[in-house]
């Protein structure tokens, strides 16, 4: 849809023209980005000079897309002032924390994005735990986070747990004393500020003076503290538009707020609660199927297919596999299906809840989660050359830069981002060199017979590019690891690219194959059919997110014990769903 041909639906027009706060629950493919662009156009025609609009989101990819669209339409210029566009965290920092400092601290506040990676150690030989394993409010160890690091508090002495808590609390206090805050800590500082009546009133006046409206996208990804700040913005008299799809909340590990958000929506008057139900992305059968991944209590009728594919009748296909684990035949069968449908293999995706399941589906070795430096280095180079989106490229550059700084000995007593902030290092100063290294070390099977050949080349190149402070060699800093072969396998396996569900959130593809596994699918179907067990709700939402990325073709790989049941469930609202044994 472009400006000349955009013809909004009644639901879209209602939101575009609505003045004041509103809560919008938008289905996948509903054109919400277009609605936000047109709302901006509407506002820019009527607001007074010197005032602007704040565009916020909880995902960088959504902000990137919105920024691009606004600029393409000529609605956002450089500099963006008096408008603001960025993540919710960046808004909180810029307007509620950064200018005012930290109570009881004379140091200028500094935002350290990776502060949660700061290691907490009791001694040189003790197991280090990152600061992310400790609650920023209480200092208590978060057992689920610690378990991921191999530290189960149920098996540890109480005295050891107390010692770690004391050490973590001390580290946080020391960082705060020096003005160093992570996003979690900055949010807590902001909450302290808005509870102060004098400050709250003053900053609300400032925000009302600058912004005629604040638009918050992807609100399903917020946490309870974020929601408190959003509530304060609205209750302070600002026009706040909340845009979300509650069924796409798949960040419970970050403290997601699915129930909180539902309760929050009820605080809006009926006339301020809106829906976007038309799907401009997918075919009718896909629309009918993805509706069945919503909870039974809120399933409702399927979203209507309103886009260019609204007459397409391709069925949703279930691939039933008999193996006890995810087989590689999923990838080969899916590739054949794509070729038969004349869909470019490189434009399609296989998605799974974990990297391991995705890799298994295309016959790749199970990814090694090792923190071994050489493996991380190789994986980053592979991700740069085979990205799923722009964020993969950016993250790969940062990872390679961080590892080079580690090799050189600059990160012994601080995190990567803390080092950058302390030394006022901007990306423009290091990216050209890092990109040249990454390009020089691309794994080319015609150049390298095996991973060990690549490793030798990497050592030789880094010998010329880095300076090691402690006198050790590159071989000592970047050791050979047998798992390097797995890091490069994606560069010479001709099949569909596997991705995690989290990594494709907000994206769309001509075709999607969703991989489900025997341990999880039964519980998810139980939840969808009966509402229990409740702990499978997020698993259902992950399948909803994954399936709704598909435009033309949706394929779901399922264990044979649940494949027929899945077929019956997805066809519950009239979708044409077929099953094929593989």
**CATH, residue 298:** 3.40.50.300
pLDDT at residue 253 greater than cutoff 80: no
| Same-domain check for residues 195 and 262 | yes
Q: From CA 271, how far away is CA 262, in angstroms rounded?
A: 16
pLDDT at residue 493 greater than cutoff 70: no
Within 8 A by CB and 6+ apart from 565, the residues are 525
Cα 372 from chain centre:
24
Angle formed at CA 239 by CA 271 and CA 18, multiple of 5 degrees: 45
Phi-psi region of 342 (alpha: psi -120 to 50; beta: other; left: phi over 0): left
| Same-domain check for residues 302 and 434 | no
| Same-domain check for residues 434 and 387 | yes
Q: From CA 409, how far away is CA 411, in angstroms rounded?
A: 6
Query: For residue 1, is it within any domain?
Result: no
Residue whose structure tokens are 């290294």: 437
Which of 120-129, 210-219, 351-360, 470-479 is modeled with the greatest confidence? 210-219
Tell me if 287 sits within 8 A of 304, measured CB to CB.
yes
Q: What are the φ/ψ torsions at residue 356 (nearest 5 degrees)?
A: -65, -45
| Containing structural domain, residue 316 | 284-364+496-581
Q: Which residues pair with 559 in a beta bridge?
A: 321
Query: For residue 556, is it within any domain?
Result: yes
Query: For residue 108, is it within any domain?
Result: no
Looking at the structure of the chain, the number of domains it has is 4
Closest C-alpha among 99, 98, 102 to residue 177: 102
Tell me if 397 sits within 8 A of 516, measured CB to CB.
no
Last residue of a domain, one of 445, 476, 491: 491
pLDDT in tens, 521-557: 999 999 999 989 988 998 999 999 999 999 999 999 9
Q: From CA 415, how far away is CA 120, in angstroms rounded?
A: 12
| Same-domain check for residues 434 and 316 | no
DSSP letter string over 173-232? Answer: HHHHHTTEE-HHHHHHHHHHHHTSHHHHHHHHHHHHHHEEEEEEE-GGG--HHHHHHHHH
Closest C-alpha among 355, 363, 299 to residue 327: 363
Last residue of a domain, one of 232, 247, 276: 276
Tell me if 109 sits within 8 A of 102, measured CB to CB.
yes
| Same-domain check for residues 84 and 232 | yes
| Same-domain check for residues 390 and 485 | yes
Query: For residue 48, is it within any domain?
Result: yes
DSSP letter string over 469-494? Answer: TT---HHHHS---TTHHHHHGGGS--
pLDDT in tens, 86-100: 999 999 999 999 999
Closest C-alpha among 248, 277, 321, 318 to residue 570: 318
Tell me if 26 sits within 8 A of 266, measured CB to CB.
no
Average pLDDT along the chain = 90
| Same-domain check for residues 465 and 381 | yes
Angle formed at CA 131 by CA 129 and CA 134, multiple of 5 degrees: 95
pLDDT score recorded for residue 496:
80
| Same-domain check for residues 384 and 454 | yes
DSSP code at position 567: H
Within 8 A by CB and 6+ apart from 548, the residues are 28, 29, 248, 281, 282, 286, 290
| Same-domain check for residues 164 and 197 | no
Tell me if 250 sits within 8 A of 86, measured CB to CB.
no
Query: For residue 334, is it within any domain?
Result: yes
| Same-domain check for residues 82 and 198 | yes
Query: For residue 572, is it within any domain?
Result: yes
Q: Which residue has the higher pLDDT, 169 or 388?
A: 169
Structure token digits, residue 329: 């035949």
Last residue of a domain, one of 259, 276, 293: 276
| Same-domain check for residues 399 and 483 | yes
pLDDT in tens, 267-302: 999 999 999 999 999 999 999 999 999 988 777 788
pLDDT band per the 50, 70, 90 thresholds, residue 234:
very high
Query: For residue 5, is it within any domain?
Result: no
pLDDT in tens, 366-399: 656 556 899 999 989 988 887 766 778 888 999 9
Within 8 A by CB and 6+ apart from 572, the residues are 292
pLDDT score recorded for residue 124:
74
pLDDT in tens, 185-199: 899 999 999 999 889
Tell me if 190 sits within 8 A of 200, measured CB to CB.
no
Closest C-alpha among 464, 390, 403, 401 to residue 434: 401
Cα 426 from chain centre:
24
Query: For residue 223, is it within any domain?
Result: yes
DSSP code at position 310: T
Q: In what helix (H) or strand (E) does residue 71 lie, and over which residues does it extend?
A: helix 60-72
| Same-domain check for residues 211 and 242 | yes
């Amino acid at each position: 849809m472009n400006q000349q041909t955009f013809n909004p639906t009644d639901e879209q027009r209602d939101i575009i023209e609505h003045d004041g706060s509103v809560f919008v629950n938008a289905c996948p493919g509903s054109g919400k980005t277009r609605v936000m662009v047109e709302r901006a156009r509407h506002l820019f025609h009527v607001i007074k000079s010197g005032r602007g609009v704040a565009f916020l989101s909880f995902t960088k990819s959504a902000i990137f897309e919105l920024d691009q669209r606004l600029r393409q339409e000529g609605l956002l210029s450089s500099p963006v002032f008096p408008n603001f566009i960025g993540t919710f965290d960046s808004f909180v920092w810029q307007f509620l924390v950064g200018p005012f400092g930290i109570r009881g601290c004379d140091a200028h506040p500094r935002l350290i994005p990776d502060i949660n990676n700061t290691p907490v150690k009791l001694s040189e030989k003790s197991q280090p735990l990152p600061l992310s394993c400790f609650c920023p409010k209480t200092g208590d160890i978060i057992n689920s986070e610690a378990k991921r690091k191999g530290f189960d508090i149920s098996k540890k002495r109480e005295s050891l747990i107390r010692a770690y808590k004391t050490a973590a609390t001390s580290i946080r206090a020391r960082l705060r004393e020096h003005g160093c805050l992570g996003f979690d800590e900055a949010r807590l500082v902001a909450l302290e500020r808005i509870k102060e009546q004098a400050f709250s009133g003053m900053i609300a006046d400032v925000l009302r003076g600058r912004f005629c409206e604040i638009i918050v996208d992807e609100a399903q990804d917020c946490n309870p503290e974020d929601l408190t700040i959003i509530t304060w913005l609205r209750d302070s008299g600002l026009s706040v538009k909340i845009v979300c799809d509650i069924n796409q909340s798949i960040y419970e590990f970050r403290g997601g707020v699915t129930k909180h958000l539902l309760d929050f929506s009820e605080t809006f008057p009926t006339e301020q609660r809106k829906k976007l139900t038309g799907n401009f992305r997918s075919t009718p059968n896909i629309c009918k199927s993805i509706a069945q991944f919503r909870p039974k209590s809120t399933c409702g009728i399927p979203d209507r297919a309103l886009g260019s594919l609204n007459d397409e009748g391709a069925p949703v296909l279930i691939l039933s596999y008999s193996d006890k684990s995810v087989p590689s035949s999923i990838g080969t069968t899916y590739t054949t299906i794509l070729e038969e449908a004349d869909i470019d293999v490189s434009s399609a995706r296989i998605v799974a809840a974990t990297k391991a399941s995705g890799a298994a589906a295309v016959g790749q070795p199970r990814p090694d989660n090792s923190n071994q430096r050489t493996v991380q280095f190789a994986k980053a180079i592979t991700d740069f050359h085979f990205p799923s989106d722009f964020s993969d490229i950016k993250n790969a550059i940062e990872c390679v830069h961080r590892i080079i700084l580690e090799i050189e000995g600059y990160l012994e007593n601080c995190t990567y981002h803390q080092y950058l902030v302390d030394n006022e290092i901007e990306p423009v100063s290091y990216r050209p060199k890092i990109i040249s290294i990454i390009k020089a070390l691309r794994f080319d099977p015609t150049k390298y017979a095996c991973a060990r050949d690549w490793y030798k080349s990497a050592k030789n190149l880094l010998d010329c590019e880095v300076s090691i402070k402690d006198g050790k060699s590159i071989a000592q800093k970047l050791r050979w690891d047998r798992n390097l072969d797995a890091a490069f396998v994606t560069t010479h396996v001709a099949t569909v690219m596997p991705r995690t569900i989290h990594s494709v959130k907000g994206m769309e593809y001509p075709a999607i194959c969703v991989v489900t596994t025997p341990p999880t699918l039964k519980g998810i179907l139980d939840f969808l059919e009966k509402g229990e067990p409740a702990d499978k709700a997020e698993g259902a939402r992950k399948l909803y997110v994954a399936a709704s990325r598909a435009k033309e073709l949706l394929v779901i790989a399922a264990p044979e014990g649940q494949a027929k049941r899945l077929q019956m469930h997805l066809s519950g609202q009239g979708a044409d769903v077929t099953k094929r044994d593989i």
